[in-house]
Amino acid sequence: MISFRWAGLALAVLGASSAVAAPAHTVTYDRYSLVIDGKPTYLWSGSFHYWRLPSPDSWLDVLQKMKAAGFNAVEIYFDWGYHSPKRGIYDFSGIRDVDRLLDMARDVGIYVIARPGPYINAETDAGGFPGWLVTTAGKPRSDSPEYTAAYREWMTQINRIIARHQVTDGRGSVLLYQVENELYDESDDTRRYMQDLEDKARADGITVPLTGNHNSNFVEGLGATDIPGQDSYPLDFDCTRPERWNAIYDFSAERRELTRTPLFFPEYQGGAFDVWGGPAYEACRTFTGPAFERVFYESIMAAGSTMQNFYMTYGGINWGWLSSPGVYTSYDYGAAITASRQLTPKYDQQKLIGYMTRAVAPLARTDAVGTSVPDNRRLQVTGRINPDDGTRFYFLRHAEAQDTTDDATHLKIVLDDAGETTIPQQPGTAIHIDGRDAKVLLANFRFGRQSLAYSTSELMTQLRLGGRDVALFYGRHGEDGETVLRYPAEPKTRVIDGKVTAHWDAATHSLRLNYRHDGLARVAIDQGDTSLLLLIADNAAATRFWQLDTTNGPVLVRGPYLVRNAVRSGDKVALTGDTDKASEVELFGFPDTHGFAWNNAPVDAMATPSASLIAHIDGPASVSLPRLDNWRVNDGAPEIAPTFDDSGWLATDRTSSPNPYWNHQLPILDSDAYGFHHGNVWYRGHFRATGKEIGIRLSANTGVHLGNHGIFTAWLNGHFLGNNPSGAQQFAIDPAWLKKGGDNVISVLVDNHGHLQEEHNGAFREPRGLLSATFAGAPTEIRWKIQGNAGGENLPDPVRGPFNAGGLYGERMGWQLPGFADGGWKPTTLPHSTDKPGLDWYRTTFRLDLPAGQDVPIALRIHDLAPHRYRAIVFINGWQIGRYISDVGPQTDFELPSGLLNQHGDNTIAIAAWSTAHDGGLGEVSLVMQGNYRTSLEQHTVKTPGYREVVRVQKTAPPR
């Protein structure tokens, strides 16, 4: 057994609400599981990207929702590029305050698996590498001196933050630290690089176990991690056929090969990313829905895994220019929690399994055990047993995962002191396994003062409340169930609610209960000083239960949309949470509990025959959103005009580049070489025409991956030449457009869909922007100038950061910002069409006054009756929160994160619509309410500079 020691915080399965002093603790691991303070622990974790949710108060919302679903850990990538706009500059304030994030995790009571990179992948720009790294030399993800010097900057900065939030020094909940990410190369220089990262982490004070996700690479030798990991996406990422399932891969062989560490899945499929032109995320959510979760998640339990993290649990949005090429603004991922922070049936299913992993401690240590084949050969049963207490687990599913037939079976299982028993015992009943379904059944399980022989229902949770045990079992609606408990003598059995029959077998000291899953049944069982409240639910009823930890022990709550927290004080319990409608709230607490409050208001609670307290609470007040009718429009591309003053732009005068993708041709035109790493970039090329120029061949790279949806558009002396996606295109020149012997101007606007992710080959350095330009008919020289975002790497608006900054004229002038005076713009209505290729900016304001204590997710919707050839960039209060391509899609609704909205005042929408051909414009734009919840969550607007502040800094900032 490998051991790590620390002093400090006792989180006690992280139920504490704040850090407290505690004696020394240990975290160890063996071939079964993590062992925290001597207790084998099943790790049930989900992925969350704070940088895809620019609203710190909403971070707390996501973490609380994960905790409420039974997750005991959250896995977090830390994005190097998100924090470093320029070499040597690191920002950990505001929406980048990861100290605050990690404090939240500690206070919520959830462990953290830290993933600081340097490389993270994550379908994000350059896989998390900063833009400035593009212009450096040295092989990435290796021990090259240039790359080493760069990544050490980042690791020093992020490690010092992670180190002070470790479980091991008593100040936080960071439990594991992942070294690098998806690094499959096992060459000597890669191994040295891995070892350097590990040595750096240890030198920086990282004392928790080091993990990997390298498909079992780096298990031994130089660069080996403490706990290796397996990544698995069994359905891949094609959401176009959500009915398609692949076969289940059995990880039992991998489990057997691990002799000193648990079987760990740092990334197991929690959804799928979607691509430009894809089917949209609801298809991905169907694709990886509750049925997939039951069958595939339980299959890796059956293989013996005790460390599972699901990618993603909350995906968020690629606001600004965060995304890598291929994926669009939403990173919803079809996850359990939507991009608008709403709960889905996938969340409910994860909660059902997650609660079980917490309630059944023996699951953290199991060995494979032989089991009888079910009498229905279409089904498969995998047995496991805890070697210490004999608890048995039976994992049931169809042998072929794709099988959609509904089947029933009987099982022969081994019970302690009872030999082999066929279950169910009640004549005419059977265990039902629907197509694409799975179940985890328990036998020989002792909890509280109870002894469970077996149940054909699944256990969701069990807890002890004073002198009484409470257990919640569930099954599919309409299916029969059978639960058998052992007692030394016949107990008193009272059916409080529902149809349940009881049979006592004196020979085996067994109480058998038979029932049909239909809503919620309740049975009270008393025998001597042993008391049990047995709750028997169907799936829908079970998902309305919430288990919360208090300093005095757990409580169980039934009814509302979400319960976030419970605090016990004397004989009262204070509950906080959310309702989506008027709801019934039932509290199962300690016997001396005589009342409870909901969101700081006492409720009129009544006692029930179940010895619980029940009350009714209000739902949210109705909300109506304003119409967006009053728009103003202005020409947004003065760069097209030959008379435009570009004297302040940068000349493309670089004569060398360390970028290995440079082909040693001059001039060097790519935008990264001039400090413009994100967003659209303008080029203006001046030339003296000879009159022989009959065409111009332009080559550009907009970012090609999973489709080719970038674009560049060109004009000559104000005349539209045409457009093209990434690559080269020759445009014809009308001689009448040329000023023979005079100054002529080629204007080119180039899209940047982001930098490629890094596959250990330097691909993230692939150039972006214009690459070359040559005339047909004459060897005329072109003198190019370039302009991207104002200030380049010296950001005039560091609060919103590098990914919010683009190179359109309106962005450089602050047209997206609140406070800009647009009174001189023309009034217009939407939809608005144009036959003129170019750019138009649209602005409007609207006022919100949302009811206090309500969470109202709002989206902006763009609707076109028919596809048009234009793309739009959407800003809310200066934040770029969406990129829309009318003729590509699929996204039409863009989440407006609550921290970016002024919920009690004026808000500004600005939209830059780039018409790439003669059928452009902007469609109808409206606000959409995605949900409405009465909540205890407090959300505040992120403080950001407005027009005057940004423009003042912009005027003084150096150009690069």
* Residue 852 CB contacts under 8 Å (≥ 6 apart), including other chains: none
CA 378 to centroid of chain Cα atoms: 36
Please say whether the beta carbons of 385 and 362 come within 8 A.
Answer: no
**Cα separation, 377 vs 91, whole angstroms:** 60
Catalytic residue among 123, 180, 182, 293, which? 182
d(CA 338, CA 331): 9
**Do 173 and 102 contact (CB within 8 A), yes or no?**
yes
Output DSSP code: residue 86. B
Q: Output the CA–CA distances (angstroms, integers) from residue 210 to 178, 201, 677, 904, in the order listed.
A: 6, 9, 33, 46
For residue 556, what is the enclosing H or E element? strand 553-558
793 is catalytic: no
DSSP secondary structure code for residue 544 in this structure: T
294 CB contacts (<8 Å, ≥6 apart)? Answer: 349, 353, 437, 438, 439
3-state class (DSSP) for residue 346: helix
Residues 6+ apart with CB under 8 A from 683: 669, 746, 747, 748, 749, 750, 769, 770, 784, 785, 786
Q: How crowded is residue 629: how many other Cβ atoms within 10 Å of its Cβ?
A: 10
Q: Give the Cα separation of 379 and 372 in Å (integer).
A: 12
205: its two tokens: 């004070």
Burial (CB count within 10 angstroms: exposed 0-12, middle 13-18, buried 19+), residue 955: exposed
Peptide bond into 667 cis (omega under 30): yes
DSSP calls for 684-752: EEEEE--S---EEEEEEE---SSS----EEEEETTEEEEEESSEEEEEE--GGG--TTSEEEEEEEE--
Active site annotation includes 267: yes
Residue 909 CB partners (closer than 8 Å, separation 6+): 628, 843, 844, 845, 846, 860, 874, 875, 876, 925
**DSSP readout, 887-945?**
TT-S--EEEE-GGGS-TEEEEEEEEEEEE-SSSEEE-EEEEEE---EE-S----PPP--
Residue whose tokens read 């409870």: 596
CB 541 within 8 A of CB 563: no
Distances (CA, A) of 385 to 414, 442, 510, 558: 11, 10, 22, 32
For 809, the 3-state DSSP assignment is helix
The one-letter code for the residue type at 207 is T
Quick one: which of 412, 301, 277, 261 has its CA closest to 710? 277
The whole-angstrom separation of Cα 263 and Cα 305 is 5
Q: Which residue has the tokens 């001189």?
A: 824
The residue annotated as part of the active site, out of 75, 123, 254, 267, is: 267
Active-site residues, by number, are 182, 267
